[in-house]
Amino acid sequence: MNPSSTDSADRDQAADGAASGLANFVVAANRLPVDRVTLPDDTVAWRTSPGGLVTALIPVMRAQQGAWVGWHGAPDETLEPFVEDGLQLVPVPLSTQELAEYYEGMSNATLWPLYHDGVAFPEFHREWWDSYVDVNQRFTKQIADIAAEGATVWVQDYQLQLVPSLLRALRPDLRIGFFNHIPFPPVELFNQLPWRDQILQGLLGADIVGFQTPAGAANFRQAVRLRLRYESKAGWIGLPDGRRALAKAYPISIDAAGFQALAQQPDVQQRAAEIRAELGNPRWIFLGIDRLDYTKGIKQRLRAFGELVAEGELDSDEVVFLQVATPSRERVEEYRLLRDEIDRLVGRINGDLGKIGVQPLTYLHSSYPREEMAAMYTAADIMVVTPLRDGMNLVAKEFIACRSNNDGALILSEFAGAAQELKQSYLINPYDINGMKARMLEAVNDSPKERTRRMRSMRKQVFTYDIDRWASDFLTDLGR
């Protein structure tokens, strides 16, 4: 990846930054990319969280004297900036009340459902908004304090939508990028938000506002045009202060080569065989892996699968559905209700259709190491990804990266950002249960040759547009 880091002016600037302790490249995200762990001898250490974003940005951070600004994961605690694994980390403190209002409230119970087509009712509370403004201001101050003159700042995601304009007001010398990891809704929905104009103005502080899909970028430009009366041309929005901001799609991806290498490790391959055996060596393993979230369409897919088994379209002696639901946002009411609903649904399907020692659904409410995830992707035959709305969906891409034999089928919702790229998947509408059932059968009944043809083409896409390409496309545009 080469985000304009190689010419000598940039090197001089990096050297200046290093001398001053200031950063020439700053990433800001709700969370720092580290988790605190207690070691067996009771000492406390930080471990880098192995997400794709971190992996992609580490080389840029190292080349450019980078810093990462974010919350460290524990409330009511203020920590000094520290260096971990060569990364300069700047913790932003959050109080217990802010966690409830800015994070669980405004971010996860207002913006998250609203931006996902309102598939759950968004709640609007003025005190949540006030807290969101306060926390965005705190992030801004920390970034402004650490950023060197003329530095590049890349703000991540919907928790920090006010940071770009707050930061520009404090530090007009900076280059500011913003990337929204979730969808940006159509203006008819966005208009429900009492603070809609503040959010638009907040984002327009950036030089580039990045989205997962062209539709997200178009929704944003339309909201800006209708609400603020700023016109745009070829993605560029003209602003009253004479600046321009680019609203454009940069579809995020994964470390495809890294995932493939992980899946090819002998221990992972062996674990994949064990998983198949533990599931009773069925002819077909269907797999779902999601954070337990109402946007992911877990109920819909289980219902479709259960009906196929009940109707004898799929033979209960030949198929198993393995569904992993990683615990998520457990303090938010909607998520607790969803967990209960899925527990009931799984119990009913297995109760109705199971036999002694044979259950069509294996449901795991737990999280797993990456090696185990790669083993599951390898063990499966049919990956089922059915969100009602999803910014991108990296699970779909991870499955593809693990299929070096070019086998396996991906059933994918047309409402996931990934559907824009993975056109050779078995596309479904998750609201259409009969349609979904038909596609599941098609994936099973197609010839191996047809599945291979589809997988080859999807692998080409995922390996060409990987996470490095994503970051370099964005940062190259931002550097122009």
Binding site for ligand GDG (CB under 6 A): 181-182, 252, 289, 291, 326, 367-370, 373, 390-395, 398
Are 323 and 362 within 8 A, CB to CB?
Answer: yes
Nearer to ligand GDG, 373 or 419 (CB): 373
| 226: enclosing H helix or E strand | none
Give the SS3 label for residue 185: coil
Nearer to ligand GDG, 151 or 376 (CB): 376
Are 399 and 361 within 8 A, CB to CB?
Answer: no
Nearer to ligand GDG, 373 or 382 (CB): 373
Strands (E), 14-173: 23-31, 34-38, 44-48, 66-71, 82-84, 87-91, 147-156
Contacts (Cβ under 8 Å, ≥6 apart) of 214 = 249, 420
Distance CA 458, CA 289 (A): 19
- Minimal distance in Å, beta carbon 398 to ligand GDG? 5
Distance CA 345, CA 352 (A): 11
Beta pairing partners, 34: 48
Are 102 and 131 within 8 A, CB to CB?
Answer: yes
- Minimal distance in Å, beta carbon 54 to ligand GDG? 11
Distance CA 54, CA 404 (A): 24
Nearer to ligand GDG, 60 or 182 (CB): 182
Q: Is 231 left (phi over 0), alpha (psi -120 to 50) or beta?
A: beta
- Minimal distance in Å, beta carbon 254 to ligand GDG? 7
- Minimal distance in Å, beta carbon 468 to ligand GDG? 15
Are 44 and 37 within 8 A, CB to CB?
Answer: yes
- Minimal distance in Å, beta carbon 384 to ligand GDG? 13
Distance CA 359, CA 316 (A): 8
Give the SS3 label for residue 350: helix
- Minimal distance in Å, beta carbon 162 to ligand GDG? 20
- Alpha helices in 212-355, H assignment, sequence order: 214-223, 256-264, 266-278, 298-310, 333-353
Nearer to ligand GDG, 151 or 302 (CB): 302
Nearer to ligand GDG, 259 or 305 (CB): 259
Nearer to ligand GDG, 17 or 408 (CB): 408
- Minimal distance in Å, beta carbon 377 to ligand GDG? 9
Distance CA 364, CA 154 (A): 36
- Minimal distance in Å, beta carbon 112 to ligand GDG? 9
- Minimal distance in Å, beta carbon 51 to ligand GDG? 7
- Minimal distance in Å, beta carbon 184 to ligand GDG? 12
Nearer to ligand GDG, 17 or 183 (CB): 183
Are 254 and 466 within 8 A, CB to CB?
Answer: yes
Distance CA 30, CA 467 (A): 20
Are 188 and 117 within 8 A, CB to CB?
Answer: no
> Which candidate, 31, 33, 86, places its Cα nearest to that of 63?
86
Angle made by CA atoms 265, 267, 271, in degrees to the nearest 5: 115
Nearer to ligand GDG, 323 or 393 (CB): 393
Nearer to ligand GDG, 182 or 319 (CB): 182
Nearer to ligand GDG, 79 or 119 (CB): 119
Contacts (Cβ under 8 Å, ≥6 apart) of 129 = 106, 194, 195
- Minimal distance in Å, beta carbon 76 to ligand GDG? 26
